[in-house]
Amino acid sequence: MVKQYGMVPSIGQLSFPDLESAPGIGRRPFSQGLQQMMDHEAKVLVAQAYRRTEKLLLENRDKLQTVS
């Protein structure tokens, strides 16, 4: 998501969509440093989503147990 849409402040409005028929297999239009930044930002987004989900489930545990 970070690579394809570039929607994080630290990387900016860059977009590197996946191309199925990209010439030069294994070649990327970005540096290894930018790849590491994108990987880090993706991990941050996943961690934030996990924490939000866990908080929501814990706050509504009684409702969840009622419907289960």
Q: What is the mean pLDDT of the chain?
A: 83
Structurally, the chain folds into a number of domains equal to 1
- The whole-number pLDDT of residue 22 equals 55
How many Cβ atoms are within 10 Å of 38's Cβ, its own excluded?
A: 21
Residue 24: inside a domain? no
Residue 56: inside a domain? yes
- What is the tens place of the pLDDT at every residue in 24-54? 566 777 888 888 988 898 899 999 999 999 9
Of the candidates 51, 58, 50, 45, which has an alpha carbon nearest to the alpha carbon of residue 2? Answer: 45
Domain ranges, residue 13 = 2-18+32-67
- The whole-number pLDDT of residue 16 equals 76
Residue 25: inside a domain? no
